C-alpha cells in the first residue's frame, strides 16, 4: 500500500509554469522552421509545383459522396496502395501510405530510434531529419558534403565513408534538398551494403531528374536489401503539397512493423482520392514535369548573367552560391513580395535556394534581381 503524501505534492507545481509538464529535450530543442507561406506572394521558396494538380483530381474530389466523409477512410489507403504498387512495379505489401513523406519519416524515427540510437546524414540536407532526431532525443551525426566551389563550377558529393559509421538510421535525400544534387545508384548501393542500420533514400524530387533511367529511382533496391526504405511524395511533381500524401517503400516485414506505429487513419479520404486521381493521370504528370524542367532551364540561363555558381540540380530548384550578399538579396526580394529560401547557418549563409516557377514568376524574379544586383 502506498500512502499519498499531500504535503510534498502541493509544492511540485511551482517552477517553470506549464512547460514543466513537457519532456526536457522538447523544451530544449528548436522548432522546425518551414518555408514562409504568405498569401499572394510569388512563392519560389518551398519547392512547390507552380501549376495546379491534374483536372482529374478536382473532378474526383467534387464527386466524393456523403458516406465517404461520414465514415473513416481506408486505414492503409488500399486503393491508392494498389495503384501505387502497379505504377512503381512492386507489391502493395511493400508500401505504406503516409500523411506526406514527413509522416513517413516520423513513423520511421518512432519505430527505430531508442535513446542510444544515432542518426546520420550527409549535410546540409532536409532540416526535418534533425528536428525528428531532437524529438526522439537521439544524437545526429552530420557528414559534410564534399563541396567544390570554383569560379566556373560547383559540385556537391556525398562522402561514401558514411556507410561505415555505426548508426541506426542513415538519411539520404536523393536528389538532395537544398543542393538538388543526385548521387549515382552505385554510390548509394555501396553505402547500403556497408551500413549496419536502415538507409532511408528520400526521393521527394526524383521525378525531376534529367535522365529517364535516373527518374526510375531506387525503389527496386527494396527487393535486394532488407535495410532499405525509399520515400516518394505527391507534394512536388504531382502538385499536391496541400493534400499531404507520401509513400514509403520497403520489405513487407518492415512495413508491418511501421504499420504498428502509424496513426490508424493517417491519410484522410479526400487526400487518398486526390492522390489516386493524380497518379492515374500520367500524361498530365509528364506534362507538368516537363514544364518544370523547361522553367528551370530558363532560370539557369538567365541567372548566369549574375556570375553565381550552383551545383547541377536534378530537382525543381537551384541552390545559388551568391556570396555575402545572400541575406540582402533574400530580404530585398521579400520586400517586393518574392519569396526565395535563405538559411542563417554556417554552411548555407552565402547561398539562396530558388524554386523554378511559372514563366511569369521567373520573369518577375529576374527583373527584381536585376534591380537589386546591378
Ligand atoms: C527532401 C524532402 N523530403 C521530404 C519532404 C517533405 O515532403 P512532404 O510534403 O511529402 O511531407 C521535403 C519537403 O520539402 C523534402 O525537401
For residue range 21-50, list pLDDT tens digits in order: 999 999 999 999 888 888 789 999 999 999
Q: Which atom of ligand 1 is nearest to the CA of 105?
A: 4
* pLDDT value at 5 more than 70: no
Position 327 pLDDT exceeds 90: yes
State residue 302's pLDDT score.
Answer: 97
Q: What is the mean pLDDT of the chain?
A: 94
Query: Does 350 have pLDDT greater than 60?
Result: yes
pLDDT band of 298, cuts 50, 70, 90: very high
The residue ranges of every structural domain in the chain are 42-51+283-373, 55-281
The residues facing 140 across adjacent strands are 119
Q: Per residue in 195-238, pLDDT tens? A: 999 999 999 999 999 999 999 999 999 999 999 999 999 999 99
Is it the case that residue 98 has pLDDT exceeding 70? yes
- Which pLDDT tens digit goes with each residue over 236-277? 999 999 999 999 999 999 999 999 999 999 999 999 999 999
* Residue 204 Cα to ligand 1 middle (Å): 6
CA of 244 to the centre of ligand 1 (A): 10
In angstroms, what is the span from residue 305 Cα to ligand 1's centroid?
A: 31
Distance from the alpha carbon of residue 203 to the mean position of ligand 1, in angstroms: 9
Centre of ligand 1 to C-alpha 10, Å, is: 46
Cβ of residue 203 lying under 6 Å from some atom of ligand 1 = no
Q: Which atom of ligand 1 is nearest to the CA of 126?
A: 1
**Length in residues, the chain:** 374
Query: What is the reported pLDDT for 2?
Result: 64
Where does the pLDDT of residue 111 fall: very low under 50, low under 70, confident under 90, or very high at 90 and above?
very high
- Tell me the C-alpha distance between 105 and 145, whole Å: 22
What is the distance in A from the centroid of ligand 1 to the CA of 5? 50
Can you name the residues that pair with 122 across neighbouring β-strands?
Answer: 143
The torsion defined by the Cα of 67, 69, 71 and 76, in degrees rounded to 10, comes to: 120
Q: Which atom of ligand 1 is nearest to the CA of 98?
A: 10
pLDDT-based confidence at residue 10 (cuts at 50, 70, 90): low
pLDDT of residue 33: 84
Q: Report the nearest-CA residue for atom 16 of ligand 1.
A: 177
Mean pLDDT within 280-307:
97
Q: Is the pLDDT of residue 76 over 70?
A: yes
Ligand 1 centre distance from Cα of residue 263 (Å): 19
> What percent of the chain has pLDDT above 90?
90
Cis peptide before 102 (omega within 30 of 0): no
Topology of the domain covering 55-281: 3.40.640
179 lines ligand 1 (CB under 6 A): no
Query: What pTM was estimated for this model as a whole?
Result: 0.95
Q: Could you identify the atom of ligand 1 that is nearest to the CA of residue 246?
A: 10
Cell 566556373, located at residue? 152
Backbone φ and ψ for 218, nearest 5 degrees, come out as: -120, 25
| Residues in Cβ contact with 265 at an 8 Å cutoff, skipping those fewer than 6 apart | 72, 73, 75
Q: Is pLDDT at 6 greater than 90 in this prediction? A: no
Please work out whether the CB of residue 99 comes within 6 Å of at least one atom of ligand 1.
Answer: no
Which of 102, 183, 275, 315 is the pocket-test mutation for ligand 1 (most atoms within 8 Å of CB)? Answer: 102
User: Predicted confidence band at 82 (pLDDT cuts at 50, 70, 90)?
Assistant: very high
Q: Is 204 in the pocket of ligand 1 (CB under 6 A)?
A: yes
CA distance 60 to 90: 25
The fold of the 42-51+283-373 domain, in CATH, is 3.90.1150
| Ligand 1 proximity of 270 Cβ (cutoff 6 Å) | no
Q: Tell how far the Cα of 48 is from the centroid of ligand 1, in angstroms.
A: 10
Q: What is the pLDDT of residue 374?
A: 81
Q: Indicate whether residue 309 lines ligand 1 (CB < 6 A).
A: no
pLDDT given for residue 115 in this prediction: 80
pLDDT at 4: 67
Distances (CA, A) of 85 to 3, 82, 213, 248: 58, 5, 19, 11
Say how many Å lie between the CA of residue 315 and the centre of ligand 1.
Answer: 12
Banded pLDDT at 7 (limits 50, 70, 90): low
What pLDDT, in 10s, does the model give residues 164-178?
A: 999 999 999 999 999
pLDDT for 137-156, tens place per residue? 999 999 999 999 988 889 99
Residue with the smallest CA separation from ligand 1 atom 7 is 101
Cell numbers representing residue 218 in the block: 531506387
Pairing mode, strands 169-173 and 198-202: parallel
Q: How far is CA 108 from the centre of its chain?
A: 14
Amino acid at each position: 500500500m502506498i500512502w499519498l503524501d499531500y504535503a510534498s505534492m502541493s509544492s511540485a507545481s511551482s517552477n517553470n509554469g506549464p512547460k514543466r509538464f513537457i519532456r526536457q529535450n522538447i523544451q530544449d530543442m528548436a522548432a522546425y522552421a518551414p518555408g514562409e507561406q504568405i498569401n499572394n506572394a510569388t512563392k519560389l521558396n518551398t519547392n512547390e509545383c507552380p501549376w495546379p494538380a491534374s483536372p482529374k483530381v478536382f473532378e474526383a474530389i467534387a464527386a466524393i459522396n456523403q458516406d465517404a466523409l461520414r465514415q473513416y477512410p481506408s486505414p492503409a489507403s488500399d486503393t491508392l496502395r494498389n495503384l501505387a504498387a502497379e505504377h512503381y512495379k512492386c507489391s502493395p505489401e511493400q508500401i505504406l501510405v503516409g500523411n506526406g513523406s514527413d509522416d513517413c519519416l516520423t513513423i520511421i524515427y518512432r519505430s527505430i530510434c531508442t535513446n542510444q540510437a544515432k542518426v546520420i546524414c550527409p549535410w546540409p540536407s532536409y532540416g526535418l531529419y534533425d528536428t525528428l532526431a531532437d524529438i526522439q532525443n537521439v544524437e545526429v551525426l552530420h557528414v559534410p558534403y564534399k563541396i567544390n566551389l570554383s569560379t566556373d563550377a560547383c559540385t556537391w558529393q556525398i562522402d561514401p565513408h558514411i556507410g561505415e559509421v555505426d548508426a541506426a538510421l542513415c538519411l539520404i535525400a536523393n536528389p538532395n534538398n537544398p543542393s538538388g544534387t543526385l548521387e549515382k545508384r552505385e554510390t548509394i548501393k555501396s553505402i547500403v551494403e556497408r551500413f549496419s542500420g536502415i538507409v532511408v533514400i528520400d526521393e521527394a524530387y526524383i521525378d525531376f531528374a534529367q535522365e529517364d533511367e535516373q527518374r526510375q529511382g531506387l525503389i527496386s533496391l527494396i527487393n535486394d536489401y532488407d535495410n532499405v526504405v525509399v520515400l516518394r511524395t505527391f507534394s512536388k511533381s504531382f502538385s499536391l503539397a496541400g493534400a499531404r500524401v507520401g509513400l514509403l517503400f520497403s520489405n513487407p516485414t518492415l512495413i508491418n512493423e511501421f504499420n504498428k506505429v502509424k496513426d490508424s487513419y493517417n491519410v484522410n479520404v479526400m487526400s487518398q482520392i486526390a492522390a489516386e486521381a493524380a497518379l492515374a493521370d500520367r500524361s498530365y504528370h509528364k506534362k507538368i514535369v516537363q514544364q518544370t524542367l523547361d522553367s528551370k532551364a530558363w532560370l539557369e540561363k538567365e541567372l548566369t548573367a549574375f556570375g553565381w555558381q550552383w551545383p547541377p540540380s536534378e530537382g525543381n530548384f537551384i541552390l545559388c552560391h551568391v556570396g555575402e550578399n545572400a541575406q540582402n538579396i533574400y530580404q530585398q526580394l521579400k520586400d517586393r513580395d518574392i519569396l526565395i529560401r535563405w538559411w542563417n547557418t554556417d554552411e548555407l549563409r552565402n547561398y539562396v535556394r530558388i524554386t523554378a516557377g511559372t514563366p511569369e514568376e521567373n520573369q518577375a524574379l529576374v527583373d527584381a534581381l536585376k534591380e537589386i544586383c546591378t
